[in-house]
Chains A and B, each alone.
Chain A
């Protein structure tokens, strides 16, 4: 709604007030990122502007200290395996759910999404007791399985969204031309749902990489992940190294998000939606 020539003064002032409010809200949304990333280059261990000088010492500490290193390695290790597992499981489920006439579709879907909705502390405590019983507590396997549970819904949602616009006559045509189901999947279905799978996989990676509550309950110091180290650090005192770590995580998220967005645009272009 642009300002019309015939708009009254009140309308015009409302128009500008609205813009002003929106500007303030967008600033509120972006402020933490804008403020934190520069502060991580502060040469002094304070969190205020103006900064006395720029330095990479906190990044140095983050990338070269043993404990941070180990946590980073653990986080990546767990997140990569979680991504593989949840992408396979989630894609299979999405393929099954998108078949026409799947019975109880809504019920199964809400069951699969529920790990995103149930308060994470409840999941964490429940899994903690469960693991204590079956001996998975303080193990990589346990942590990976617990994170996979939280990450799979993201893959299911992303792949299901891609399959919404999927033309089933394509796979029928392939089958009609004599391709066995496996060939149909790899030659026809997979290339079409790949963008959805990749963005689901990236979401799953982030979900595991950023997860802290379940990790706090089921992981031992040996499996300490990056968010666990950050959380315990934040409970004690805000240190500049934590801010550097937070900045690295933010930049990483920005990278992943950009990739997802580019993928989405590409697939929309290929399918001729835009």
Chain B
């Protein structure tokens, strides 16, 4: 009908109706874009850009390049086999003198210390003494000042400083580092903690996800099968904790799980245990509090899928001779799987980033990746490490978020 109108009418102002319609459509799309634009710009500038910058810090570090320009450039020609030539030592003396004058020695020392623990102090020592080194044999004089300069590793580190990009932080995050020859080797045991941290984060998240599924599935089933009035009432019990802040609920669990807290009192009162069980500042406390916080996230998607399952399927299976468990397992359960996948995936994604709860009710051995990101930012001021650990955590989260989007669709994300 529309095409006929276009051919016949042509419009009163001589413009074909088809073109007019196209323009209107175009304007409408543009209008919709204008409405969304402020938020998109806001998210891009205040969220995506800062995170991008932080991720960049995981591979970008120009400390040595900018603060020791002469040495790093002199070393770019060094073949890395024997000790560098006299020119490199001369450049080093110049750089050390300059850094001492500009008070940047501390920054250099800190950077060197990341890769060669202890070498930073020796570098500072050399920088203080370097004014006594006069022209002539810089090499011998420097080694005289500090034997560090006769070692191969320090020169290797300085040579790598010629590039503003380094894989050091990312390698450290998976327990590798550069060896003396610049090859990649496993970190020594005292530094190799991060694979453990990632495995622990993964393990706790998996455990909490499983716990929420085990606890949430029966309740979701009950809520979906009860008459609306009763189920609405019980639903309040699920949604209410959902909307209390995680901090408040963690505090509540801290009170409940204390050595002389309510739970221990009840257990002792019932003669189940004779002295207080250790429930807080360990894995138990962390998992219990996290399960409590995440339970509604797993439960609600399962519930909304169960709501749509018609009871006639199970009835049909039963009337065809299936036993109650067979009918449930073969007919009902498979239909709930989309909900189970959505709920579990969401809970798992959110668990990976937990910080507050393990920090407050966990022990030192229960801290997850987020804790180390915060720790390196606030206390060690090692921003490269914070960024590298964050980058790996973010990559895992975004990958799972992508899967979630493909599987469930972000539109289905609901609150309460």
Contacts and interface: CB of A to CB of B under 8 A. Distances in A.
Contacts of A19: 222
A110 B251 contact: no
B65 interface: no
Interface string B49-67: 1110110010000000000
Interface in A112-151: 112-130, 145-146, 148-149
A238 B257 CA distance: 12
Interface in B233-256: 234, 236-241, 243-256
B73 interface: no
Interface string A89-105: 11011011101011100
A120 B349 CA distance: 12
A95 B33 CA distance: 10
Contact of A203 (B225, B371, B415): B415
A84 interface: no
A207 to B, nearest CB: 9
A184 interface: no
A118 B50 contact: no
A25 B219 contact: yes
A146 B244 CA distance: 21
A161 B414 contact: yes
A76 interface: no
A49 B237 contact: no
A154 interface: yes
A128 B377 contact: yes
B252 A36 contact: yes
Given A47-B262, A92-B36, A126-B50, A29 B43 contact: no
A128 to B, nearest CB: 7
Contact of A99 (B28, B359, B373, B374): B28
Contacts of B238: 26, 29
A111 B40 contact: yes
A126 B51 contact: yes
B54 A249 contact: no
B209 interface: no
Contacts of B413: 113, 116, 157
Contact of B415 (A18, A31, A158): A158
A169 to B, nearest CB: 15
A39 interface: yes
The B interface is mostly helix, strand or loop, or mixed, namely helix
Contact of B39 (A36, A152, A203): A152
B394 A118 contact: yes
Nearest to A119: B353
B161 interface: no
B29 to A, nearest CB: 7
B215 interface: yes
Nearest to B355: A121
Nearest to A101: B29
The A interface is mostly helix, strand or loop, or mixed, namely helix
Residue of B46, B234, B397 most packed against chain A (CB within 10 A) = B46
Contacts of B371: 121
A114 B262 contact: no
A44 interface: no
B265 interface: yes
Contacts of B225: 1
B324 interface: yes
Contacts of A22: 218-219, 222
B46 A127 contact: yes
Given A1-B225, A93-B35, A101-B29, A212 B247 contact: yes
Given A206-B243, A243-B255, A99 B249 contact: no
Contacts of B386: 125
Interface string A187-208: 0000000000000000100100
B54 A125 contact: yes
Contacts of A103: 29
A126 B416 CA distance: 29
Nearest to A18: B218
20 contacts: A18-B218, A18-B221, A25-B215, A32-B249, A33-B241, A89-B38, A96-B32, A96-B36, A99-B31, A112-B39, A116-B413, A119-B397, A121-B371, A122-B394, A124-B374, A126-B390, A149-B42, A149-B43, A152-B39, A206-B245
What are the 6 closest A-B residue pairs judged by CB atoms, nearest first? A119-B353, A96-B35, A210-B245, A32-B252, A130-B50, A96-B36
Interface of B: 25, 28-29, 31-40, 42-43, 46-51, 53-54, 57, 215-216, 218-219, 221-222, 225, 234, 236-241, 243-256, 258, 260-262, 265, 292, 295-296, 311, 324, 349-350, 352-353, 355-356, 359-360, 370-371, 373-374, 377, 383, 386-387, 390, 393-394, 397-398, 401, 405, 409-411, 413-416
